[in-house]
Copies of this chain bind each other. A is one copy, B any other.
Amino acid sequence: MISLTPAEIDALLLSLRISGVAVACALPIAVLTATALALGRFPGRFILDAIVHLPLILPPVVMGYLLLIGFGTRAPLGAWLYETFDIRFVFSWTGAALASAIVSFPFQVRAIRLSLENINHGLYQAAESLGAGPIDRFFSLTLPLAWPGIIAGAITAFAASLGEFGAIITFVSNVPGETRTLPLAIYTAIQTPGGELAAARLAALSIGLAFAGLMLSELAMRRIRKRAAS
């Protein structure tokens, strides 16, 4: 294999870090949101559903712009975060993770929700009759039974994060070593006449990374399904 340039390694590691953090942080929220959507009956349910889908519908560039408006250091929320916790999203990799998380959020929610809706209601009744309260049931039944969906959602989200471009470049710019992920690096290469080869190398790297991730997840999934086959 051709050895990687430091810039390529930078982009690779950065992509992994950003996607990993994005998925890890978004997952619990996605699980909760999906649970609310799948099992809950509350007034704002439809609005919540719509909001979750927003990042899908709006072009990533618009999402990036909206993030800038919401989380920029001059925006009230962003300013507050910056002053109080010294958290700054703009121009930093955490911002890229935030953008990735938001853009890939709908995939996670969809997949998890689909799994949740497939759980046989009778099992909840059984658990309830055995003394399990709502939170107990959530951890002892809902979560483990929704594993296939949670994993599927996490994979899709991870893959989508790896490929996320528009929202990142708009929100946090294209700073080498800080926010220049693989897609941004590929984009940069493609924008340059004669940059095709560099772009192809980076694309191959992306693909390899994704294959490895898929392979891992496939194995995990298979083990889970073997357990739960019914």
Contacts and interface: CB of A to CB of B under 8 A. Distances in A.
B117 A114 contact: no
Most buried by B among A56, A156, A159: A56
A27 interface: no
Contacts of A117: 148, 225
Interface in A99-118: 106-107, 110-111, 113-115, 117-118
A54 interface: yes
Contact of A62 (B61, B114, B118, B203): B203
Contacts of A207: 54, 57-58
Nearest to A54: B207
A138 interface: no
A156 B106 CA distance: 8
Contacts of A17: none
A62 B190 contact: yes
A110 B117 CA distance: 16
A60 interface: yes
B210 A57 contact: yes
A115 B165 CA distance: 30
A124 interface: no
A209 B50 CA distance: 11
B120 A230 contact: yes
A59 interface: yes
A114 B116 CA distance: 11
A164 to B, nearest CB: 8
A210 B61 contact: no
A14 interface: no
Contacts of A114: 111, 114-115, 148-149, 152
A187 interface: yes
A49 B221 CA distance: 13
A50 B207 CA distance: 9
A186 to B, nearest CB: 6
A215 interface: yes
B58 A187 contact: no
Interface string A180-197: 001110110010000000
6 contacts: A46-B218, A53-B156, A53-B159, A58-B186, A107-B156, A111-B111
